[in-house]
């Protein structure tokens, strides 16, 4: 029987695609996000796709107590795979002008939350000698750009967490994968820029990745035999040669 997959940020975008993909493969799921109405619909769709059990639980990765409550419930399902996906970017302001709420929000959701969730669920994976932590960093973990003076450092830190975990977990049989996508059209840019219209302009004239493309990579990494650890995957649209180089037709 396939192991339980815990997915943070499963109410939209990549997280939703992961839920459906692992559901199709028959995995039980524990899904977390703040928008519980959306999350419940994803859980329902995952069950229809083939998941024998898909639980939707409220989760705010910026709140320590919320992570703890979620993790206690998730642990009862004996998770095997943790996908730390919740997060995103807030604004594109240069460091000189960045709003404090955005600065703290990006650090707490993408980094502090990821570390706390991992700390909660790792002991179980180690004890059971079976597990896989998959962190969703970003192409921004591999470079920098103007207007990404908080988001890029935070995603660099996520990648560094993945690297440190691989060392700390050596000999435990728990695998760690860092997946770093480039531009993907989800709700990411709507959240970042505050409107559908501004979000559309981000992808104007180019073909971005889809959530499905990223999900394909995550499922591939998770389905390698136990002796194979996919450490890092960077995937970009063919139209994106780098963080500051996008081909637009
Ligand atoms: N799209 C891209 O171009 C791209 C590229 C590289 C990396 N990424 C990363 O991929 C991950 C997923 O992004 P996406 O593209 O799928 O964007 P998305 O469609 O906006 O999804 C973000 C998910 O994170 C959840 N989330 C955000 N803040 C949260 C919080 N405080 N507590 C719990 N859940 C929270 C959201 O759920 P609720 O709002 O319901 O809580 C949502 O389910 C993020 O870490 C992002 O930084 C995205």
Average pLDDT per consecutive 10 residues, the chain (249 residues; last block may be shorter): 97 98 98 98 98 98 98 98 98 98 98 98 97 98 98 98 98 98 97 96 97 98 98 98 97
For the chain, the structural domain boundaries read 4-246
Cα(225) to centroid(ligand 1), Å: 28
Predicted pLDDT of residue 143: 98
CA atoms within 13 A on the CB side of 193: 15
Backbone dihedral angles phi then psi of residue 191, each to the nearest 5 degrees: -65, -45
Predicted pLDDT of residue 51: 98
Interatomic CA distance for residues 25 and 184, integer angstroms: 24
Q: Which atom of ligand 1 lies at the shortest distance from residue 139's CA?
A: 6
Q: Report yes or no: 3 and 79 within 8 Å, Cβ to Cβ.
A: yes
Q: Which atom of ligand 1 lies at the shortest distance from residue 105's CA?
A: 31
Predicted pLDDT of residue 156: 98
Predicted pLDDT of residue 103: 98
203 given a catalytic annotation: no
Predicted pLDDT of residue 189: 95
Predicted pLDDT of residue 1: 87
Q: Note the residue count of the chain.
A: 249
Interatomic CA distance for residues 19 and 30, integer angstroms: 9
In this structure, the dihedral spanned by the alpha carbons of residues 139, 145, 150 and 152, taken in order and rounded to 10 degrees, is 20
What tokens were used for 178?
Answer: 């860092």
Q: What is the CATH number of domain 4-246?
A: 3.40.50.720
């Amino acid at each position: 029987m396939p192991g339980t997959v815990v997915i943070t940020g499963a109410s939209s975008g990549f997280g939703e695609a992961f839920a459906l993909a692992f559901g199709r493969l028959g995995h039980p799921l524990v899904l977390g996000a703040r928008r519980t109405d959306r999350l419940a619909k994803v859980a329902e769709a995952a069950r229809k796709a083939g998941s024998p059990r898909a639980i939707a639980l409220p989760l705010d990765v910026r709140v320590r107590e919320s992570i703890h409550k979620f993790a206690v419930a998730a642990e009862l399902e004996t998770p095997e795979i943790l996908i730390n996906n919740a997060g995103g970017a807030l604004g594109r302001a240069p460091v000189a002008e960045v709003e404090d709420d955005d600065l703290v929000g990006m650090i707490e959701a993408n980094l502090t939350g990821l570390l706390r969730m991992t700390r909660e669920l790792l002991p179980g994976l180690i004890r059971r000698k079976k597990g896989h932590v998959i962190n969703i960093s970003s192409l921004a973990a591999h470079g920098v750009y103007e207007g990404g003076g908080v988001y890029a450092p935070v995603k660099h830190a996520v990648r560094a967490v993945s690297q440190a975990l691989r060392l700390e977990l050596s000999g435990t049989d728990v695998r760690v994968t860092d997946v770093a996508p480039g531009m993907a059209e989800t709700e990411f840019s709507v959240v970042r820029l505050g409107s559908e219209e501004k979000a559309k302009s981000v992808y104007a004239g180019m073909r971005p990745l889809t959530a499905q493309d990223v999900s394909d990579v995550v499922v591939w990494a998770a389905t390698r035999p136990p002796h194979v650890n996919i450490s890092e995957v960077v995937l970009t649209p063919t139209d994106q040669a780098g963080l500051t180089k996008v081909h637009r037709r």
